[in-house]
Structure 1
Amino acid sequence: MQRIAWDLLNPIVNYANILQCEPSFQFGPRTISNHQFIYVSKGSGNVEIETREYSAGKGDLFYYGPEVIHTFKADQLDPFELYGVHFTWHDKLTAVKAPQSIIDVSRRTTSTSALQNLMVIGDKGLDELKIGDQINVYGTGIAELLLDIIKQFRNDSEKSSIANRGLFLHLLLLLHRHTHTVAPSFSPFVKLLFDVKIKLESTALLPYSRKWLTEWSGYNEDYLSRCFHEQFGIPPHQYHLLQKISKAKELLEHSDFTVSLIAEQLSLSSVHYFCRLFKNQTTYTPLGYRKMCRMV
């Protein structure tokens, strides 16, 4: 696993293209020297990343990094159309035209020797974005962004590289939003975790109760709390507190309620606890935040 902070991202698109595959066309097994997203815009086929096999269809986005062995094989009757973008996560704009190294290799024979393929952006928590082998992003706007990136790369003008950096960052933000939003392809249990997340948002004005986790899910409180933390990168109680902070911001921005009244509305134990919690999360005192929001 690799991890990079959001504020250290300076992505560079090194190469971008559209590939219309012939029936049964295959590339790989191979490795590359940088990173790549491949999006299936049409057709179907099979993909192998290291020793992991996937059926691929419209809307699937694949990712792999350097030295990760990958193979794409188009279906005979319904071959792929693929959008491919080679990139680096952090580099100078002058590196855009750096030559790309593509190496034909042999498949790995055992799963024990397979490389892990996971990129993580941001610290653990709600800002974290995990990018693995495959995710379906159909209907998210990511396909359109990839097309824009390809057009900019082909344009090869003075501003293309900086434009593609902006487009690529936008793509990552869309991908983050998508991975933190429930999707039809999710398992019933993951959908249940999203239901719990929504209920925590809707109960922000109430005191937190661990019993909710069992009442809402039917699972043991400790087990569901662990699963929630694993899915969203934050424990349920902490997520509930963040919803209280969000509600507090709304009240400070759009009402003239006193700080004491807002603490009472949020079912917090004291105004002192509220002020300490708010400052820890925002770096502002409640009144300092209200003053800042009323400036232009």
Structure 2
Amino acid sequence: MGHGTAEPMTLPVRGLGTRRQRLQGYLLTGPTRIFTRHGRLRSPAATWALRVATFVAIMLFWTLVARGMSRALLVPPIDVVGAILDLTVRQPVIWGAIYQSLGTLLIGLILSLPFGIAVGLLMGRYRGVEQVLDPYVTFLYVLPNIALIPVFVLWFGYQLELRLVLVFFSAIFPLIINTMSGVKSVDSELIDSARSFTANERQLVRTVVLPAALPFIFAGVRLGFSGAWVGVITAEITTLVSGIGGLIVDYASSFQTARMFVPILFIMLVGIVITVGMGRLERRLAPWRRMATDAE
């Protein structure tokens, strides 16, 4: 027998660490199997169950907080539900406001999309263009658009042009930056292969560069939409007092708190619908991106 020091035998301690390990093992291998070993939810049913549970918890917390506050400051969720019915069915003023705000948003995006993609493409393909424009793009991108509202009011007044300019400035720079990044990230071997088949610059851009940069462009579109939607609401709240932003101001100034929450919720809903729609459009136009993500 050796004379070395024997290792003391350790026994599991019934404490916090053991309970935590049991819980982790139960979530990974137990009857419910909520999470996979990579930390993802195992099924869509589990995802929706947790989402519903979170929503119920938020509503209960909101109700409890509202009980101890004045109705002029905060109302319970049930009052907001009643206000939604009032503004969508009984007195459907919300639809006209949404139509006005979305019209401004879509016109501004239609104007900014081709310009932003074209400038980003030029900056990504030609180093000289990037060196000239990059300082100005960076400066205007980091500048809060709300700081330019007084200037835009002096130039364009309080008409539709003010909202369009705000939408354009809010959407254009994420488009430029993401398109430029996508163009720069194109695999050089793809470009060399296209040139070996005598592809000119126009063919190279159309068949190689733009398809490869499409996921980056869609990311820029999503960011641009978010900024543009913020620009529309900001213009309506601060200057025009019209559209869905104007409803927020009207109801807040008259302490109709329940009704004030209705346009806020619809602003969120419009953003979610358009973001999800653009995600599906991206998967349809760039299916190779989804296959690459699944492969990872």
Q: TM-score range by the shorter chain?
A: under 0.3
Pick the structure with more strand per residue: 1
More helix by share: 2
Is the radius of gyration larger for structure 1 or structure 2? 2
Q: TM-score w.r.t. structure 1 length?
A: 0.24
Greater relative CO (CA pairs within 8 A, separation 6+):
2
